[in-house]
């Protein structure tokens, strides 16, 4: 199957056809089939030649992310941004790694949190009257606290009142960005036989102080985690530091999405857990020459999630605003080098 023939799954907003990657570009194995080969390597330590290739890939991914963030203006569509990212990669003789990765139809993941003021008005109008009801009928609160289906009910209400507030893996489309939105881009690239991967969040126009804080704290979580990475460090420390800083600032860590080792495959084992306690044991330690991503997603509310019918787009069940930052890093003897830094 040619990448231009990838079937577009039903989305909430209109999308454009998949862009055709020129044949002179070096394709990853999944480019024409959508079938991703899984790496059997775990805890891989890279040689110097591979590290140099990873640095090039990381730089391209970081430059693409910067391009996406800087061009997220009012009335621009995420489809516009995706085309910019596609053109940037092709100009640099690199494959837009999002295209046909497990069938994904676009270059980047674009996950907006729609911040329209009128939806907040109706949301708080609803919450105000709900609080009055709970005040006079406490049995309702007891029911809510013990009801396994409450997240589903909240999701239905939130979808009506607050539109689309995405966690990750949004498909670029023709909806125009609006003042007050915040949006996350996940940028991946394949060049010289290896992958680069990074992500970041920005606001569109003027955004609320709370959402500025959400974006800043999620970025701080990432950098605090990177600051402790070194040869011999426990992988569990990453989740511990991220969770402590997020919760101290009133946010929660989405548990369902992890960092990962990366190299000749985009996703390699082990996965890097951002929550704490986590599954990393005391003997699960970093070694010099390992390359992996750290990519925490913070939510202002629920950490329970669901996926749209397009099989990609993920939202929290209460439609909370979310923010994500991601870097690919190289473990050194006493520190870590960020391979996707473009600031």
Binding annotation for substrate: 169, 267
Annotated binding-site residue numbers for a divalent metal cation: 186, 197, 260, 295, 326
CA distances from 6 to 3, 79, 82, 175, 257 (A): 6, 16, 16, 21, 25
Q: How many C-alpha atoms does 178 have within 13 Å on its Cβ side?
A: 10
Q: What is the DSSP string of 195-214?
A: EEEEEEEEESSS--HHHHHH
Residue ranges of the annotated binding site are: 169, 186, 197, 260, 267, 295, 326
Dump strand ranges (E) for the chain.
Answer: 95-96, 109-113, 166-168, 182-191, 194-203, 252-253, 259-261, 268-272, 291-294, 297-299, 305-307, 314-316, 322-324, 327-331, 336-338
Residue 241, C-beta contacts closer than 8 angstroms, at least 6 positions apart: 221, 224, 225, 228
Chain-centroid distance, C-alpha 166 = 10
């Amino acid at each position: 199957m040619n990448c231009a023939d990838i079937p577009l799954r039903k989305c909430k907003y209109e999308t454009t056809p998949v862009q055709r990657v020129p044949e002179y570009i070096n394709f990853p194995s999944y480019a024409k089939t959508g079938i991703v080969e899984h790496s059997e390597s775990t805890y891989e330590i890279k040689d110097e030649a591979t590290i140099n290739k990873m640095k090039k890939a990381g730089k391209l991914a970081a430059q693409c992310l910067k391009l996406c963030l800087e061009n997220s203006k009012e009335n621009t569509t995420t489809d516009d941004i995706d085309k910019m990212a596609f053109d940037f990669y092709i100009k640099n003789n690199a494959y837009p790694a999002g295209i046909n990765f497990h069938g994904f139809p676009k270059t980047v993941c674009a996950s907006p949190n729609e911040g329209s003021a009128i939806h907040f008005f109706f949301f708080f109008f609803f919450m105000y009257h709900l609080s009055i009801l709970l005040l006079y009928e406490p049995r309702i609160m007891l029911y809510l606290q013990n009801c396994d289906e409450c997240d589903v009910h909240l999701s239905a209400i939130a979808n009506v009142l607050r539109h689309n507030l995405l966690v990750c893996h949004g498909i670029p489309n023709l909806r125009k960005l609006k003042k007050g939105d915040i949006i996350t881009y996940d940028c991946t690239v394949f060049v010289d036989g290896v992958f680069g991967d990074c992500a970041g969040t920005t606001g569109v126009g003027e955004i609320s102080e709370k959402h500025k804080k959400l974006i800043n704290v999620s970025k701080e979580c990432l950098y605090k985690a990177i600051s402790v990475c070194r040869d011999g460090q426990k992988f569990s420390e990453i989740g511990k530091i991220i969770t402590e800083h997020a919760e101290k600032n009133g946010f929660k860590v989405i548990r369902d999405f992890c960092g990962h080792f990366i190299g000749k495959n985009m996703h390699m084992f082990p996965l890097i857990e951002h929550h704490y306690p986590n599954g990393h044991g005391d003997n699960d330690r970093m070694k010099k020459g390992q390359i992996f991503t750290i990519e925490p997603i913070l939510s202002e509310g629920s950490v329970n999630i669901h996926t749209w019918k397009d099989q990609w787009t993920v939202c929290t069940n209460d439609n909370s605003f979310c923010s994500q930052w991601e870097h690919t890093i190289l473990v050194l003897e006493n520190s870590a080098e960020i391979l996707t830094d473009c600031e």
